[in-house]
Homo-oligomer: A and B are copies of this chain.
Amino acid sequence: MELLTDDQITAELNESPGWALANGEITRTFTRQDFKDAFLLVGAVAFLAEEAGHHPDIDIRWNKVKLTLSTHSAGGLTAADFALARRISALPGPG
């Protein structure tokens, strides 16, 4: 996996509403109705992550789920991060 250039990161972010750059990673926080709903979302994220062979950091705070993506093996952001980010964003509901 090759690291993306700043121009490529900008282009990818433009196609990934809700995701923000922070400390060389991309992050997005989803707010659900309660803990149960948040946990169900994490289940879907876990499934997509396993399918992709790529796993976000997942922080659960009752009804909030913060996801953080980068490609540790490459030392930064790659196409794999944005591919998974968009697959997660395409789930029904996460707003």
Contact = CB atoms under 8 A, between A and B. Distances in A.
Contacts of A57: 59-61
How many copies make up the complex? 2
Interface residues of A, number: 15
Interface of A: 35-36, 39, 42-43, 46, 49-50, 55, 57-62
A1 to B, nearest CB: 16
A59 B42 CA distance: 11
A49 B35 contact: yes
Nearest to A40: B46
Contact of A50 (B35, B50, B59, B60): B35
Contact of A55 (B42, B59, B62): B62
